[in-house]
Amino acid sequence: MGTEGSFEEFVKELKLIRSVDFHDNVIRFYGVSEDPTTHRYFMVLQYANGGNLRDFLNKHHEFLNWETRINMASQIASGLKCIHERNIVHRDLHSKNILVHDGKMMITDFGLSKSLDNNEHSVVGGMVGYIEPQCFIDSTYKRDKASDIYSLGVLLWEISSGKPPFNNMAILDIAREVVQGRREAPIEGSPPAYVAIYQMAWDSDPNKRSTINKVREDLERLQSNCDIENLSLAGLSINSQGKDNNFVSSPVSEFGSNNNFAANSGAQNSNVQQSTIPFGVAESMNPNKRATLRDNYIQPINNNNTGQLMSPPNSNEISTKQDSVADLHKQNPTI
């Protein structure tokens, strides 16, 4: 650990994860190790054989039925419920911070998390497509549990689609769309009741978003219904899938206009890498970087096989988090 501030960040994250790691849908913490050469600290975390949710969906989405998708969503909501019950705001929920192990969803990476008892004005950070519009409008906006609910809503849409939100769009363009109240359209064949859950979760008005208890209850109700494909809600207004697989959705808040938004799923890739966040068994405690997992870095931590430790990578194997939008107002204050 290079600085006192870095060590304080390490201790903060350690305390947060230890307060919730008993839950099946939160990553297990096994211990701490220090590299004797670099004196960098590593948290030893539970191994996830399915990688992160982003990669898992990319590989397996076409084989997942709706019962399985809803179960995945329910597990994530269950983990977040535990986090919120401990008065913690995660602040960085996205599909690369959900790990998959034998079909079990586990929330990880508490690097941006804060206790609500110590949650001052937030510095905008995280993956842009999962961040609520208030953070782009006011860089001092204080994120709370409703902020996590917004991110959860985006995650639920991603589970239905198999793709990250606003795929192949530049970061600033995503921020503008979010501020203007535009969201991804429901995927064809989605159960209307499932769509209603994530649309209420990602409402632009934090006061209108569901609580985590309601999200969890609604998903449990879906799981208990055998006729998944025909679930519906009376009076529910659902945006339709556009022609040629275009995403078509309408603004959902006072932030936007009434013009429809269309983002071609085959749009040209330009400045689209929102982040490079790893998955694996250990997380470097350098607060500005994340160590990227490679198979040849994994070695036993002890003879009891209670966990595994990732050796420190070389400098060219370090992937810096690319998705922070703290400077968006400086780059373009009009978004």
107 in any annotated domain: yes
User: Residue ranges of the alpha helices (H) in the chain?
Assistant: 4-18, 53-60, 66-85, 133-137, 145-161, 171-179, 192-201, 212-224, 328-331
Residue 43 — φ and ψ, nearest 5°?
-85, 130
Local confidence pLDDT in tens for the 335 residues of the chain: 445 556 777 777 777 778 887 899 999 988 888 889 988 888 888 999 999 999 999 999 999 999 999 999 999 999 999 999 988 899 899 999 999 999 999 999 876 555 555 544 444 556 899 999 999 999 889 889 999 999 999 999 999 999 999 998 999 999 999 999 999 999 999 999 999 999 999 999 999 999 999 999 999 999 987 555 555 443 333 333 333 333 333 333 333 333 322 333 333 333 333 333 233 333 333 333 333 233 333 333 333 333 333 333 333 333 333 344 445 555 555 55
25 in any annotated domain: yes
pLDDT tens digits along 211-225: 999 999 999 999 987
Sign of CA dihedral 287, 83, 133, 232: positive
Crossing angle for the helix pair 145-161 and 53-60, to the nearest 10 degrees: 20
**Do 82 and 115 lie in a common domain?**
yes
92 is a catalytic site residue = yes
- Rounded CA-CA distance 300/309 in Å is 6
**Do 117 and 30 lie in a common domain?**
no
The CATH number of the domain holding residue 164 is: 1.10.510.10
**Do 90 and 10 lie in a common domain?**
no
**Do 291 and 207 lie in a common domain?**
no
Calculated CA dihedral for residues 274, 280, 283, 288, nearest 10 degrees? -20
Domain count, the chain: 2
Adjacent-strand bridge partners of 263 = 247
- Rounded CA-CA distance 281/104 in Å is 15
pLDDT in the model for residue 302: 35
Q: Which of 21, 92, 148, 218 is catalytic?
A: 92
Find out whether 38 and 77 touch, Cβ atoms under 8 Å.
Answer: no
As given in the structure block, the two tokens for residue 323 are 């998705």
270 in any annotated domain: no
Crossing angle for the helix pair 192-201 and 212-224, to the nearest 10 degrees: 170
pLDDT in the model for residue 257: 30
Contacts of 7 (CB under 8 A, 6+ apart): 1
**Do 40 and 57 lie in a common domain?**
no
**Do 284 and 210 lie in a common domain?**
no
Render 225-239 in DSSP notation, one character per residue.
Answer: -S-GGG---TT---P
Q: Which of helix, strand or coil describes residue 56?
A: helix
**Structural domain span for residue 287:** 4-46+276-331
pLDDT in the model for residue 296: 32
pLDDT in the model for residue 76: 98
Of residues 155, 111, 91, the one with CA closest to residue 6? 111
As given in the structure block, the two tokens for residue 296 are 């040849």
Query: Where does a domain end: 212, 228, 263?
Result: 263
- Rounded CA-CA distance 73/156 in Å is 6
Residue 142 — φ and ψ, nearest 5°?
-90, 110
271 in any annotated domain: no
**Do 155 and 212 lie in a common domain?**
yes
Burial of 65 (0-12, 13-18, 19+ CB in 10 A): exposed
- Rounded CA-CA distance 202/251 in Å is 12
- Count CB neighbours of 59 within 10 A: 12
296 in any annotated domain: yes
**Do 57 and 42 lie in a common domain?**
no
125 in any annotated domain: yes
The number of angstroms, rounded, from the C-alpha of 27 to the middle of its chain's C-alpha atoms is 14
HEC profile for 62-94?
A: HHCCHHHHHHHHHHHHHHHHHHHHCCEECCCCC
**Do 39 and 137 lie in a common domain?**
no
pLDDT tens digits along 289-318: 333 233 333 333 333 333 333 333 333 333
**Do 38 and 60 lie in a common domain?**
no
